[in-house]
Structure 1
Amino acid sequence: MCIIAQDLTPPDRQSCPTRVDFMLTIIRHCRNSFWLALSIAASLVSASAAAEVPLSFELDIQPILSAQSCNSGACHGKQRGQNGFQLSLLGFDPEFDHAAVTREARGRRIFPASPENSLLLLKATAELPHGGGRKIERGSEDYQMLKQWIRQGAPRRVEGEPVLEKVTLERTSFSLSPKESQPLRVTAHYSDQSTRDVTRLATYLSNDDAIVSVDANGVIQAGDLPGETAVMARYMYHIEVVNVAIPQTEPLPASLFESLPRNGFIDELVYEKLQSLGIEPSSVVDDHVFLRRASLDLIGRLPTAEEAREFLDGSESESPADLRAQLVDRLLERPEFADHWAGYWADLLRPNPYRVGIKAVMNYDNWIRQQFRDNAPYDTFVRQLVTAKGSTWQNGAATLYRDRRSPDEVATMVSQLFLGIRLDCAKCHHHPFEKWSQQNFYEFAAFFSKVGHKGTGLSPPISGGEEVVYTSTRGSVRHPLTQEQMTPTPLFEIAGLDDANTTDASSEEPVDPRDALADWMTSTDNEFFAQVQVNRTWAMLLGRGLVEPVDDLRSTNPATNPALLNALAADFQASGYDFKHLLKTITLSRVYLHSSEPTASNVGDHSNYSRHYRRRLRAEVLLDAVADVTEVPEAFQGMPPESRANQVWTTRVNSIFLDTFGRPNENQDPPCERTPESTVTQALHLMNSQQLDQRVRSDNGRAARLASSEMTAQQIVDELYLSVFSRYPVASEQAYAAKLITEATDRRSVIEDIMWAMLNSPEFSILN
């Protein structure tokens, strides 16, 4: 090369007239030699790199950073990075990451002249102290790839670079024997029709490690117990899911399932799934269990002793199926139905009274209850909420927008409640387990950009003023990174729906983007809308959703029975979103009748509904049951006399009992979810509560009434069992309790003790 031919002979002292001139000449010589050396090295690097395949940061380097968890939330992907080095979470922003690697910290993380001495490699191989430990080995494939990319000058892109379009799995389902293992194979597909095997660089996650585990190389390993789960494979922004089933080792005879009665499509689809897994369902329950289960599920109230006696005695003259259908019809028309089911939605929608004001909360609660009294179609119910306008003192639904005031707040709530799509993660970065991006999030939030407010605003902890929600002519949502103004856009397209920004020239009213959103949400082509509601309802009745959590519908969290979820959603749509129709369809299925007693083959089944899953009664239902059994109504501050717990409209109405048994605290933001598990505190409360003891021993209570009546001991025992357990006592229970009452010197005291013991039994507080 011509540069090498330059004269680099050191200067002669005799040629310099003064010592200063000599020193300056030496400095110039050294400087020229240094830059010459760098130029030679760069030329050699360029010549070597020219013979290599050019590497792209986004296609070749970022996948390594993701596979080694460098950009995970626990490492450099956290909000402020780690030790001064920050990457975008899971690589959602390649531009940011490339700049962080190549230009931040004065570019000292890479050294093209000597790639192996780059800080990026020295830290990754733990040759320099690294908090994350050794991520790659020197000489490994990842190491060589990183080294080659640095040697090529760490380019952001290469000429003609293709785009990653999707990833696929070689197999999307496995049926394994216990302890069997199988490898996954992940293939990336690019816009130039090329493909790569990216199994080594993908990341994997099992939804249930006890059933099936998966290692970093994509090898799935079955556990000891039969069951099924899903395994996620993620490569960059693309996700695929493989379903893995471990059937029983001893299959059941086909004749067993052929002999099982079916009451509809629910039974067909559940039994088809159980047969494929080799799981035998439990037997159906007795009439008294169905009576108690259906009453508590549908209206949140125990049957009275008289109602239980009538139903049980009537089963001797009519067919069980007819009796059950008649019971469900009666329960769905009871006034308690509205208060019970409104309570579930009040949990989801109820605002903080300290933020929005007591009057607004009461109006909101009344509005919700009225929807259930009217049996409003579910799509109408949601549409009225999403498009709510007017005064919070006149239209309770408008309180939704008094509590959630910014578009991003409303967007996360609406998407989760009514679509089962959790967009929270996409607010800050690409969703780690789904396809939703920041662009998707802020385009969806833009539907709420024109929600305006008139009034006193918020002034916690009082906020008592009226506020009017209206459609403003102004308002916008901007992308936090690009500052681009977002156009209201649904999460996915549905053909035939009007654009959100369509204007009506003949109207003086500004167009509300929420109207277009409501059209898109409630469209029969939007499968999420019906699915999340039927899944939530199924969980309330069967103890576990087809998808758990119930409002987290995504490809990486598939339903345990997808065909059943789709069939329920389709039936719900076909009924005109009739909620009572949905409840009746589920409660009259044979699956709903399954006993909670396990069989030998379904004792380990927790997700396929081969048996009924026991659960504790909701706090309000349990408190009302105590009031009904003792015949001493609860007194609530600020409520009319003899109000029921299911009618309480705010947690500012004090109740130690409700708080103990899991009532959510609406003063927290967001309100705490209910915890269905039983606790020691709850058991101690039932055993030692002075209030409960006073109710049992009240002079106006059931025990006092029975003790002073002319009823025989046997009749008293019957009434106690019918009122508490909705059944007649078995012979041994009848004999024992009757003997205690007959031989007692203080009949009332014995009856009180028996009642107290029954209230503390699992049969009372647990729904079997």
Structure 2
Amino acid sequence: MRVVTFCLAALLATEGLSRSATAGTDPSIAVTFERDVEPILTRAGCNAGACHGKASGQNGFKLSLLGFDPEFDHVAIAREAGGRRILRARPEQSLFLQKATAELPHGGGRRIDPSGPFYETLRRWIEAGLPRTAAEAPKLEGVVVEPAERRLERDESFELRVTARFSDGTTEDVTHLAAYGSSESTILAVDPQGRVKAGRFAGEATISARYEGLFANCDVSIPLPGEVPATFYDALPRSNFIDGHVWSKLKKLGLTPSPPADDAKYLRRAYLDLIGRLPTPEEARFFLDDPSPDKRPRLVDRLLERPEFADHWANKWMDLLRPNPYRVGIKAVLNLDGWIRDVFRRNLPYDQFVREIVTARGGTFEQGPATIFRDHREPIEIAPVVSQLFLGIRLDCAKCHHHPFESWGQEQFYEFAAFFARVDRKGTGLSPPISGSEEFVFTGKTGSVTHPLTGKVLPPKPLFGSAPLDADPESDPREALARWMTSPDNRYFAKVMANRVWADLMGRGVVDPVDDIRATNPPSNGPLLEALADDFRDHAYDLKHLIRTITASWVYGLSSEPNDRNMADTRNYSRYYRQRLRAEVLLDAISDVTGVPDVFDAAPPRSRASTIWTNRVPSLFLDTFGRPDPNQDPPCERTSDTAVVQALHLMNSPGVHAKLTSDEGRVAAIAKGGDPPEAIVETLYLLAYSRLPSREERGIGESLFRDPERDRLGAVEDLLWALLNAPEFVFKD
């Protein structure tokens, strides 16, 4: 009988029908809960987060999100509330069916067609006594989507086919039970039946098909209309491997790159990217006047050795690791800040940097990384932080249920958290708002993590592969975790850091968001990301080497000016993507240009914004331009969006006005000097934009000095104020 059933299932699959769609009408197919009913509930959206799958359920009826816990769901349907949802003697009168078909009032509307095959499957399941799928039944092992890759023209469409593979070698067409999503819905749409339709825009998107917690992808490209000769791409410059991967992608989509940026734009871009400050007029003149063909890579080498490099890049990482000093203590946070800055001054290899954090021990007044474990005190608190920061895997969802967009389940979450179960502490603990005492972090002799549903004690286990614990029972499980994370075999480790740095320098990550690497959030250029990760790993996780490699590419030096074949591109690096300056970089730039430093609480005189050790230091400017909320737990995200309040702040801020009008500032010194107007205009443009003014700009600037209603000081103030308020100053181009 079983052979006949599988043969019939195979025949139905060849005709494009799913087992669950035919189980109700074919008596030879036994209907069971896990194999037939649960997929229908997921397909109909009954267990979605907006319906009965949300944390509190809906109108007293709760299901596990997307069917991650069949045991719970079976009990909820069959036995909860005295079994009132099921009427076995008259299945069609079961509340379970009458609600789903909207024969009785239902807030979710009609989810099941009463004349369709899914209804009959559910009816037969009730009639058969609500059977579970046998434990020895074949297990789902994989999902395949066909085609795996497709090229479309505008407005063209096609249908997907999704096949499930089981442990006994059988397959099943589950196209009508899969859930679909598009990575770029404006480029490519997919309907609930798996029909894919191209939009009006050229580009590339990935369609993800999800069935029972497993995913498969179909990559679809929509090239720009019109032909570009292959010889065009063959002739494009290639400074290193990055260019080849980017040109290959542009060729596939019919996009063409913008021309190179001029020296002034490259100069300003490199300074802001690498050390977070503007070049001085003298530095700008030196570079612009240098006729050497290798002056760009030599500039990068010089900048990587500047002391500002460490502060600029440490500031980025403090966003991700910095705890609230009122929670863990001022001295502890200051110590962590100093440790991270020292890491970047020494150019500590990235793998060692991560190992020292993950395995941190010692006093929070001496060992900076220990402060992180003072802040995150429970295994389930530190585990998702570590996985997101250092692996690009967001595990938070799996804490409560199976991850809706990935393959991580609750058991995997708590097994990963078990690596931190024996982290112990000695001291007075936390006493917000003043936690001033030192705390010592060490490896305890005991500690465990239990599954919240089963109560089972779970052993430490990585998300994939293996991480053998040391034979010594006294050893710290975190050591095994650190070895597994930083192993060359762990593709996530190098990939997420390479992606972070690429996003910092190029304006957008190959995977975006940068710390969300998963099958349903595919990279815009997979081969490029793999190559960057390999190069980073092969060069001993040297951050400066990674930065040097990216900045040496032809792609990094492209202009941001679009052409007619790349103006809609926002993810394939056919041009440079402009970015608003980070809050600290912008404030320091204004201070440098005006020659008036800021004064910060709890910081030495003449401190730069990039050296602030905590976001608790008051600064209306930094808050306006998107520094992280000090009350938000790390990892903290900045907002890079522009807002009207930012433009108004630059125009009207008393702080900016005070810098421009200070008697001790650069404006007053220039006005008192003997330089003619044409030299002053040139100096101000070099200060603000690292370039010389155009003929038109010179004329406008010099005309201010001829205005009889404006004195020399007023002319300098007004011109510099105008330059600071232009997009060219606020954005990195």
Query: TM-score, length-normalised on structure 1?
Result: 0.91
Counterpart Cα distance in 1 of 2:168 and 2:536: 44
Instruction: Give the corresponding residue for 2:716.
Output: 751
Confirm or deny that 1:67 pairs with 2:43. yes
Instruction: Give the corresponding residue for 2:469.
Output: 500
Cα distance change of structure 1 residues 347 and 157 upon mapping to structure 2, 3 Å threshold: same
Q: What CA deviation, in whole Å up to 9, does each residue of 1:522-568 have, x standing for no partner?
A: 00110100000000100000000000110000111111000000000
Counterpart Cα distance in 2 of 1:83 and 1:143: 22
Q: Give 1:465 shift.
A: 0.8
Counterpart of 2:411, as a letter, is Q
**Aligned mate of 1:534, from 485, 498, 502:** 498
Instruction: Give the corresponding residue for 1:479.
Output: 451
**Aligned mate of 1:570, from 522, 526, 534:** 534
Instruction: Give the corresponding residue for 1:621.
Output: 585
Counterpart Cα distance in 2 of 1:502 and 1:605: 53
**Aligned mate of 2:267, from 268, 271, 291:** 291
After superposition, where does 1:363-512 map in structure 2 within 5 Å? 363-494=335-466, 499-500=468-469, 502-503=471-472, 510-512=474-476
Counterpart Cα distance in 2 of 1:754 and 1:374: 41
Q: What CA deviation, in whole Å up to 9, does each residue of 1:333-369 have, x standing for no partner?
A: 0000000000000000000111101110100000000
The answer as to whether partners of 1:49 and 1:152 remain within 8 angstroms in 2 is: no
The answer as to whether partners of 1:233 and 1:239 remain within 8 angstroms in 2 is: yes
Q: Give 1:190 shift.
A: 1.7
Cα distance change of structure 1 residues 621 and 159 upon mapping to structure 2, 3 Å threshold: closer
Q: What CA deviation, in whole Å up to 9, does each residue of 1:558-601 have, x standing for no partner?
A: 11000000000000011110000000000111000111110101
Q: Which moved more, 1:115-124 or 1:187-196?
A: 187-196
Q: Give 1:175 shift.
A: 0.7
Instruction: Give the corresponding residue for 2:13.
Output: none
Q: What CA deviation, in whole Å up to 9, does each residue of 1:493-523 have, x standing for no partner?
A: 15xx6x125316xxxxx21000000000000
Cα distance change of structure 1 residues 159 and 73 upon mapping to structure 2, 3 Å threshold: closer
Counterpart Cα distance in 2 of 1:102 and 1:739: 84
Confirm or deny that 1:655 pairs with 2:609. no
Q: Give 1:215 shift.
A: 0.3
Counterpart Cα distance in 1 of 2:263 and 2:29: 74
After superposition, where does 1:143-162 map in structure 2 within 5 Å? 143-158=119-134, 161-162=137-138
Instruction: Give the corresponding residue for 2:58.
Output: 82
Q: Give 1:196 shift.
A: 1.4
Counterpart Cα distance in 1 of 2:452 and 2:309: 45
Q: Give 1:736 shift.
A: 2.4
Q: How many residues align?
A: 709
After superposition, where does 1:32-111 map in structure 2 within 5 Å? 52-111=28-87
Instruction: Give the corresponding residue for 2:5.
Output: none
The answer as to whether partners of 1:288 and 1:726 remain within 8 angstroms in 2 is: yes
Residue 229 of structure 1 aligns to a residue in which SS?
A: strand
Counterpart of 2:357, as a letter, is L
**Aligned mate of 2:691, from 723, 727, 730:** 727
Q: Give 1:694 shift.
A: 1.2
The answer as to whether partners of 1:284 and 1:593 remain within 8 angstroms in 2 is: yes
Q: Give 1:246 shift.
A: 0.4
The answer as to whether partners of 2:25 and 2:121 remain within 8 angstroms in 1 is: no
Counterpart Cα distance in 1 of 2:134 and 2:693: 81
Q: Give 1:484 shift.
A: 0.9
Q: Give 1:193 shift.
A: 2.0
Instruction: Give the corresponding residue for 2:610.
Output: 646
Counterpart of 2:723, as a letter, is M
Q: Give 1:120 shift.
A: 1.0
Unaligned runs of 5+ in 2: 1-23
Instruction: Give the corresponding residue for 2:654.
Output: 690
Counterpart Cα distance in 1 of 2:166 and 2:85: 30
**Aligned mate of 1:344, from 316, 321, 324:** 316
Cα distance change of structure 1 residues 262 and 53 upon mapping to structure 2, 3 Å threshold: closer
Confirm or deny that 1:318 pairs with 2:292. yes
Instruction: Give the corresponding residue for 2:331.
Output: 359
Q: Give 1:629 shift.
A: 0.5
Counterpart Cα distance in 2 of 1:633 and 1:384: 35
Q: Give 1:732 shift.
A: 1.6
Counterpart Cα distance in 1 of 2:140 and 2:692: 67
Q: What CA deviation, in whole Å up to 9, does each residue of 1:72-100 have, x standing for no partner?
A: 11111111211111111100111111111
Counterpart Cα distance in 2 of 1:673 and 1:479: 30
Cα distance change of structure 1 residues 673 and 51 upon mapping to structure 2, 3 Å threshold: closer
**Aligned mate of 1:632, from 576, 596, 600:** 596
Q: Give 1:666 shift.
A: 2.3
Counterpart Cα distance in 2 of 1:276 and 1:340: 37
**Aligned mate of 1:235, from 211, 217, 222:** 211
Kindly report the root-mean-square deviation, in angstroms, between the aligned alpha carbons of the 2 structures.
1.4
The answer as to whether partners of 2:319 and 2:634 remain within 8 angstroms in 1 is: no
Residue 441 of structure 1 aligns to a residue in which SS?
A: helix
Counterpart of 2:465, as a letter, is E
Counterpart Cα distance in 2 of 1:389 and 1:370: 18
Instruction: Give the corresponding residue for 1:224.
Output: 200
Q: Give 1:713 shift.
A: 1.2
Residue 449 of structure 2 aligns to a residue in which SS?
A: coil
The answer as to whether partners of 1:187 and 1:195 remain within 8 angstroms in 2 is: yes
Q: Which runs of 4+ in 1 moved over 6 A?
A: none
Instruction: Give the corresponding residue for 1:9.
Output: none
**Aligned mate of 1:515, from 459, 473, 479:** 479
Q: Give 1:107 shift.
A: 1.4
Q: Give 1:743 shift.
A: 5.0
Counterpart of 1:108, as a letter, is R
The answer as to whether partners of 2:385 and 2:635 remain within 8 angstroms in 1 is: no
Instruction: Give the corresponding residue for 2:6.
Output: none
After superposition, where does 1:249-260 map in structure 2 within 5 Å? 249-260=225-236
Residue 453 of structure 1 aligns to a residue in which SS?
A: strand
Q: Give 1:740 shift.
A: 2.2
Counterpart Cα distance in 1 of 2:574 and 2:218: 23
Q: Give 1:50 shift.
A: 12
Counterpart Cα distance in 2 of 1:643 and 1:157: 67
Counterpart Cα distance in 2 of 1:688 and 1:274: 43
Instruction: Give the corresponding residue for 2:645.
Output: 681
The answer as to whether partners of 1:55 and 1:158 remain within 8 angstroms in 2 is: no
Instruction: Give the corresponding residue for 2:548.
Output: 584
Q: Give 1:384 shift.
A: 0.4
**Aligned mate of 2:301, from 329, 332, 337:** 329
Cα distance change of structure 1 residues 713 and 85 upon mapping to structure 2, 3 Å threshold: same
Q: What CA deviation, in whole Å up to 9, does each residue of 1:423-456 have, x standing for no partner?
A: 1111111111111111111110000000000001
Q: Give 1:157 shift.
A: 2.5
Residue 348 of structure 1 aligns to a residue in which SS?
A: helix
The answer as to whether partners of 2:394 and 2:516 remain within 8 angstroms in 1 is: yes
Residue 209 of structure 2 aligns to a residue in which SS?
A: strand
Identity of aligned residues (%): 57
The answer as to whether partners of 1:713 and 1:742 remain within 8 angstroms in 2 is: no
The answer as to whether partners of 2:322 and 2:634 remain within 8 angstroms in 1 is: no
Q: Give 1:160 shift.
A: 5.4
Counterpart Cα distance in 2 of 1:175 and 1:531: 27
Q: Give 1:669 shift.
A: 3.0
Unaligned runs of 5+ in 1: 1-47, 505-509
Query: TM-score, length-normalised on structure 2?
Result: 0.95
**Aligned mate of 1:763, from 711, 719, 728:** 728
